[in-house]
Amino acid sequence: MVSVLLSGLTAFAIVRTAGPAESGAQVVYSPDGQMVRTVNLSMSDYPDFTYAAENAVEAVVYVQVTSKTQQQYYIDPFFRFFFGDEGQPRENIRRGSGSGVIIRPDGYIVTNNHVVANATEVKVTLNNNKTYDATVVGTDPATDVALIKIEEKNLPVLQFADSDKLRLGEWVLAIGSPLGEQLRSTITAGIVSAKGRSMPSDDGEFRIESFIQTDAAVNPGNSGGALVNKTGELVGINTAIVSTTGSYTGYSFAVPSNIVKKVVSDLIDFGSVKRATLGVTMSRIDEKTARDLKLDSLDGVLIHEVLPGSAAQKAGVKEGDILTAIDSTLIKTPAGLQEKVNGFHPGDKAVLKVLRDGKEHELKVTFQEGADQIGSIEEDGTVMFYGAKLAPAERGVKIVDAGDGRLAEAGGIDGFIILYVNDQKVSKPEDVIEIAKKSRRSIFIEGVTSTGRPGYFGFGKDD
């Protein structure tokens, strides 16, 4: 029994019992004469996760990955003088593991992109200990989601829940294989600590982040595993932790199920993600901005720039607008806007609500093709173009990161300097976008590699 005396006119003594609770509440008095009400709580008043855990664990798998990397060895100049540059790169075999979630009974499994990136072999072990060879159907680095498949039927699955309906403080379970095979099918519990989280990144990659933050214990190996609600439905894919040690220190992050569902549906239906774009640069509303603009709330995002020819410009969005909602979804942060826009396909329509000069306006928008298909300007001034990241160079435009989209497939590599697009000279990333938009059929790129060698490649615009 634990008694807790609370301040106030009426205090409560909370009694936890292992058996059935007695009916009613008993009123007693403390030694100083203060009235105390005793409330009996039975174990049935506490959350029971057994149904969710026992059902969900059957659809969570262990993923083993083999990848090969090339390592170039340094040759001392003394030996190079006698033997020349004959050092051959040595092939390294790397093995790793993660988790995955079966989403269709015919063998489709969702996991993280970073789990299967550069994989030469993927094996999946089910909760019944059966192991299968898996193929990578598609990946989406921007959301860190990947889809793999095994050849089997009548598999147990997890149903997608609406992650937008998750509430702060709601109980969730994390299921996966932390720290390797020995801890397969581990289940931990926690609450939803925050929503719409983004994390700092210095790798230069374009990201779409609106994580669910929980305090359910997640460790390396949990990546790609399930985050489920009390009814055993999938609300997220466990993806990352924030830690100074490399192990769980109280914070874990999951990609919301609504993002995951849209990505994997596109990968199944189209083989790539059909990502919509709005075409704006934006920032949070801080207290100074709210004072300067005489705003009553810190909700919404401040529009700094509207990309010429973008969906936002065509809808009538202007620099300085405060975007507060898309359809019935309130927008409170840039991550929240990113998450909502990512749920649309090019050509989808919506209603934007913006504040302008203290008045609310409703603007009808038709979303356009996304960064991996046409191009968009990012907040740091770089440009996403057919899956690659472009930045200004001393002359021409540099491919900072070729990514794994259509430009990379055509032969684009990191460090390549683009000098001409469709025989037209380019001097900044925006030139590349504008020329590509005007092209009716194909895009032909000419330039030089990082070592100064001439190069060229091309691809069809609508491939």
Residue 83's H or E segment, with its range, is helix 77-83
Distances (CA, A) of 175 to 49, 255, 299, 305: 12, 14, 34, 42
Number of CB atoms found within 10 A of residue 455's CB: 15
What is the distance between the alpha carbons of residues 362 and 326, in angstroms, rounded to a whole number? 9
Decide: 386 and 462 in contact? Cβ < 8 Å: no
What is the distance between the alpha carbons of residues 41 and 20, in angstroms, rounded to a whole number? 8
Catalytic: 30?
Answer: no
Of 163, 223, 252, 257, the catalytic one is 223
Give, rounded to a whole angstrom, the gap between the first and last alpha carbons of the chain.
69
Structure token digits, residue 337 = 């806007």
The one-letter code for the residue type at 56 is A
Residue 338's H or E segment, with its range, is helix 334-342
Decide: 323 and 351 in contact? Cβ < 8 Å: no
Catalytic: 269?
Answer: no
3-state secondary structure of 229: coil
Phi-psi region of 331 (alpha: psi -120 to 50; beta: other; left: phi over 0): beta
CA angle 223, 214, 328 (to 5 degrees): 105
What is the distance between the alpha carbons of residues 64 and 136, in angstroms, rounded to a whole number? 13
Rg (CA), the chain: 27
Decide: 279 and 310 in contact? Cβ < 8 Å: yes
Structure token digits, residue 333 = 């942060």
Q: How, if at all, do strands 90-102 and 60-71 pair?
A: antiparallel
Of 114, 299, 345, 361, the catalytic one is 114
Of 97, 99, 140, 144, the catalytic one is 144
59 φ, ψ (degrees, to nearest 5): -100, 5
Q: Helices then strands (H, E): number in the chain?
A: 9, 31
Structure token digits, residue 63 = 């993923």
Structure token digits, residue 229 = 């609600």
Catalytic: 133?
Answer: no
Structure token digits, residue 99 = 């988790």
Please spell the DSSP secondary structure of 238-251, one letter per residue. Answer: EEEE--SSSS-SS-
Please give the positions annotated as active site.
114, 144, 223
